[in-house]
Amino acid sequence: MQSNYLIFISVLIGLVGCSNKPIEPWVAPYEREHLADPIMDPDRDAVFSAFRQHVHETREASKGAGAAQGSGCGCN
């Protein structure tokens, strides 16, 4: 595990070192019309997505890495 941490830190230091060079964005701001369209976000309605996720998670063993945070059970 120790060696894994050393590799991880080395990669991060390399990443930080590289960050001083400006990176040219390959998609300019004026080219992001489609990316900014609400249709590109399937979770655009937080209330809708949160309930849908709650319905699934209360009946499954897995959770995490999803769109919504919440609490409570409602799972009898």
Report the interface residues with other proteins, using CB under 8 A.
Answer: 1, 5, 8-9, 12, 15-16, 19-20, 22-27, 29, 31-32, 34-35, 37-42, 45-48, 50-52, 55-56, 59-66, 69-76
How far is it, in rounded angstroms, from Cα 8 to Cα 20? Answer: 20
Q: Cα torsion at 56, 60, 65, 66 (round to 10°)?
A: 0
Q: Which helix (H) or strand (E) holds 9?
A: helix 2-18
Question: Whole-number minimum distance, CB 3 to other proteins, in Å?
Answer: 13
Closest contact distance (angstroms) between CB of 18 and other proteins is 9
